[in-house]
């Protein structure tokens, strides 16, 4: 008995990454450089790959294992020899007790359905996914979806984290959000931390996850003003108003959300970096330059080569939540982004949106609406 307890105590944590897109690949690289030779973690990091065949005829997972690079989603960056690409989802997670979820949010429900009953009962999860589901009862954050469908605890890691920059080890920060256990959050921080990737942990999982989710809608707004050549003052205004709406909506949805979370990397810093350099911004700029004539779907396929936007679907999900509660007028920026994305309003409406949400205007006094 005593021996069995001892054995259990020294079992090393085994990590799998569910997802292998642009950020998924960088996450695997970050984690793998920490697990190798570490006393608490198994060296190997398994990374689930949504299989596809490359134009040369080779399977993506084979190409990753042959070159140690994700040639499609993160070309030119070695992931670490201890990263093993695995196209079999169940096999990829079977032995892991630390599961990192990092896929575009729209695929997570299907993935959780496939994983139900297939993961270790002692597994812990962390979601790097920026997005939410909308159910009849209201919004369901992805970490909650994972907890509900897989029966595991799930933290989140969000922040000003443009993957291509972290891939080249440029300094950035991130925020872990946790619900109960600081110890588990610290274990995740140990897994991800690097001298160039500083992590803080806050006990506000909903606040952290809503920051990461809602800022993608603000980034669409920022891209629109870029496409309209409005200049820096306008973009700064969009960021400020966006951040204010993010905070107000988060607090309305979850009274536990803390103001201080919005000053962490997941808050203001992520708004800034995404509005300056993210994919949502880039595609929205192109959308405005075509005068809305090409759809976001077409532009996403043209510009991102398989990578996925989160902001357009999130704008719809947010709109569903707002309209269900009759809150559109309180959140003019979030509301207007959705209406522009679906062609109900022209891109220029992004700076005229008080007309479309009559209870509010851009001026500071509108904060009273919240």
Ligand X SMILES: O=C(CO)COP(=O)(O)O
Ligand Y SMILES: NC(=O)C1=CN([C@@H]2O[C@H](COP(=O)(O)OP(=O)(O)OC[C@H]3O[C@@H](n4cnc5c(N)ncnc54)[C@H](O)[C@@H]3O)[C@@H](O)[C@H]2O)C=CC1
Query: Nearest approach, Cβ of 174 to ligand X (angstroms)?
Result: 9
Q: Which of 94, 109, 308, 316 binds ligand Y (CB under 6 A)?
A: 308
Provide the mask over 174-213, with x wherever binding to ligand X is found by CB under 6 A and - wherever it is not: ----------------------------------------
**Residue 163 found at the interface with ligand Y (CB under 6 A):** yes
Provide the mask over 31-70, with x wherever binding to ligand Y is found by CB under 6 A and - wherever it is not: -------------------x--------------------
A 10 A CB-CB count for 114 gives 10
19 annotated as a binding-site residue: yes
CA separation for the pair 131, 144 (Å, rounded): 11
Query: Nearest approach, Cβ of 285 to ligand Y (angstroms)?
Result: 17
Query: Nearest approach, Cβ of 71 to ligand Y (angstroms)?
Result: 12
Q: Which of 160, 225, 271, 318 binds ligand X (CB under 6 A)?
A: 160
Contact 322, 344 (CB under 8 A): no
Q: Which of 179, 279, 289, 338 binds ligand X (CB under 6 A)?
A: 279
Strand duo 74-78 + 69-70: pairing: antiparallel
Residues 98-137 that bind ligand X (CB under 6 A): 130
- Give one DSSP letter per residue of 250-298, joined into a string: HHHH-TT--GGGGGSIIIIIHHHHHHHH-HHHHHHHHHHHTTT-S-HHH
**Residue 307 found at the interface with ligand Y (CB under 6 A):** yes
**Residue 280 found at the interface with ligand X (CB under 6 A):** yes
Token duo for residue 216: 């993608």
What count of Cα atoms within 13 Å lies in the side-chain half-sphere of residue 68?
10
Query: Nearest approach, Cβ of 215 to ligand X (angstroms)?
Result: 7
Of 215, 235, 258, 339, the catalytic one is 215
Residues 306-345 that bind ligand X (CB under 6 A): 310
CA separation for the pair 77, 30 (Å, rounded): 12
215 is catalytic: yes
Binding at 219: pick from ligand Y, ligand X, none (beta carbon under 5-8 Å per type): ligand X
Helix/strand number for the chain, H first, E second = 15, 12
Token duo for residue 267: 């808050």
Contact 86, 24 (CB under 8 A): no
A 10 A CB-CB count for 233 gives 9
* SS3 sequence of 46-83: EEECCCCECCCCCEHHHHHHHHCEECCCEEEEECCCCE
116 annotated as a binding-site residue: no
Q: Which residues bind ligand Y (CB under 6 A)?
A: 19-24, 50, 73, 102-105, 107, 128-131, 161-163, 306-308, 310
Residues in binding site for NAD(+)? 19-24, 50, 107, 163, 279, 308, 310
Which residues are annotated as catalytic? 215
Q: Which residues bind ligand X (CB under 6 A)?
A: 130, 160-162, 216, 219, 270, 273-274, 278-280, 310
């Amino acid at each position: 008995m005593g021996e069995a307890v001892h054995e259990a105590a020294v079992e090393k944590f085994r990590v799998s990454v569910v997802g292998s897109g642009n950020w998924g690949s960088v996450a695997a690289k970050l984690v793998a450089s920490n697990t190798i030779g570490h006393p608490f973690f198994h060296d190997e990091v398994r990374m689930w790959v949504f299989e596809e065949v490359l134009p040369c005829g080779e399977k993506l997972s084979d190409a990753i294992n042959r070159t140690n690079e994700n040639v499609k989603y993160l070309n030119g960056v070695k992931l670490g020899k201890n990263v093993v690409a695995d196209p079999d989802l169940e096999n990829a997670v079977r032995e892991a007790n630390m599961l990192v979820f990092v896929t575009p949010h729209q695929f997570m429900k299907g993935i959780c359905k496939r994983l139900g009953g297939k993961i270790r009962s002692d597994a812990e999860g962390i979601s790097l996914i920026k997005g939410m589901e909308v159910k009849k009862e209201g919004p369901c954050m992805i970490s909650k979806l994972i907890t509900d469908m897989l029966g595991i605890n799930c933290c989140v890691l969000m922040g000003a984290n443009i993957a291509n920059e972290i891939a080249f080890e440029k300094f950035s920060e991130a925020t872990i959000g946790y619900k109960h256990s600081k110890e588990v959050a610290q274990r995740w921080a140990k897994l991800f931390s690097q001298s160039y990737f500083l992590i803080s942990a806050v006990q506000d999982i909903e606040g952290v996850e809503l920051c990461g989710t809602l800022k993608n809608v603000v980034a669409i707004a920022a891209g629109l003003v870029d496409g309209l050549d409005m200049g820096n003052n306008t973009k700064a205004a969009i960021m400020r108003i966006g951040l204010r709406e993010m905070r107000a909506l988060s607090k309305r949805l979850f009274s536990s959300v803390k103001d201080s979370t919005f000053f962490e990397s997941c808050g203001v810093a992520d708004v800034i970096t995404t509005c300056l350099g993210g994919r949502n911004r880039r595609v929205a700029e192109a959308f405005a330059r075509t005068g809305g004539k090409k759809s976001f779907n077409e532009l996403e396929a043209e510009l991102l080569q398989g990578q996925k936007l989160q902001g357009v679907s999130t704008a719809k999900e947010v709109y569903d939540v707002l309209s269900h509660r009759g809150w559109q007028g309180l959140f003019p920026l979030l509301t207007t982004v959705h209406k522009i994305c679906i062609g109900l309003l022209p891109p220029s409406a992004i700076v005229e949106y008080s007309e479309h949400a009559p209870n509010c205007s851009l001026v500071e006094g509108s904060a009273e609406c919240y």
